[in-house]
Structure 1
Amino acid sequence: MIKSVMVMNTQGKPRLAKFYDFQPVEKQQELIRSVFGVLCGRADNVSNFVEADSIFGPGTRLVYKHFATLYFVFVFDSSENELAMLDLIQVFVETLDKCFKNVCELDIVYNYSKLHTILDEIIFGGQVLETSSIEVIKAVEEISKCSPSLSLYLFVFLRA
């Protein structure tokens, strides 16, 4: 099971933090700081896989990719395959690139709800739903088509 997905910049500011196990906000912040502490101390030429037992508990690992100014981090337990998780990060980033035309940190900051929609199409409740970026983009486009009419309906309904 996937325990958490995090996207943070190279200064350690979280741009996305989604925990699939309930964690109080203070604990989430502590975990994000701990993960960043591990990542910023690693050289560029080492493995992208890290034992996370001391941070998240026994049998937990994290995998990360560093793109430009962002770290994409998936935390998972021993039931998940490390290489599959690394590939899932790649799918997530490719999907973001296709949606935002070369995703950057500002795209993530200003399109927070779309980022969550994309992530929810890939992972939901800690389980992988979709591994094809094309299918994810189709689903996000369908949701976007529904969204404006739903917003208009709610606006009219609430004004009445």
Structure 2
Amino acid sequence: MIQAVLVMNTQGKPRLAKFYDFQPVEKQQELIRSVFSVICSRAENVSDFVDTESIFGQDTRLVYKHFATLYFAVVFDSSENELAMLDLIQVFVETLDKCFKNVCELDVVFNYSKIHTVLDEIVFGGQVLEVSSTEVMKAIEEISKLETTSNAINLVPKSVSGWGTR
């Protein structure tokens, strides 16, 4: 099971933190700091796989990938495959690139809800739902259409639409 998905900038500021098992906010912040300290202390020529038993408890692993000014990290247990988790990060980043045309840190900061929607289409409740960037984009486009339709309906005055009349 996936325990957490983290996106941090190169200064260690969390831009996205999604924990799939309950952690108090203080514990979440401590875990984010610990993960960042492990990631930033590693040389660039070593693997992106880290044993995190000292941080998250027994039988946990961390996979991360560095893209531009962001670190994308996934914390998971032994029921998940390390290479599959690395591929999951790639799918997440590819999907964000499709949404934002070369995603950057500001896209993550200013489009927080859309980033969460993308992540929820890929991982939900700590389980992987979809690994195809194309399929995730189809779902995101459908959600956008529904939001647009919903917003358009809300803009029509009730007296014109017939809603709210007896």
Give the TM-score normalised by structure 1.
0.95
Could you list the per-position Cα deviations for residues 108-155 of structure 1 after superposition, in whole angstroms to 9, with x for gaps in the alignment?
101000000000000000000000000000000000111123245567
Cα distance in structure 1, aligned partners of 2:30 and 2:156: 43
Q: Find the counterpart in structure 2 of residue 58 from structure 1.
A: 58
Matches within 5 A, 1:2-151: 2-151=2-151
Identity across the alignment (%): 77
Could you list the per-position Cα deviations for residues 8-45 of structure 1 after superposition, in whole angstroms to 9, with x for gaps in the alignment?
00000000000000001111000000000101100000
Unaligned runs of 5+ in 2: 158-163
Cα distance in structure 1, aligned partners of 2:149 and 2:131: 29
Q: Which runs of 4+ in 1 moved over 3 A?
A: 151-157
Which one has the largest radius of gyration? 2
Unaligned runs of 5+ in 1: none
Matched residues, number: 159
Cα distance in structure 1, aligned partners of 2:153 and 2:72: 36
Q: Displacement, 1:62?
A: 0.4
SS in 1 for 2:75: strand
RMSD (Å) for aligned C-alpha atoms? 1.6
Give the TM-score normalised by structure 2.
0.92
Cα distance in structure 2, aligned partners of 1:155 and 1:33: 44
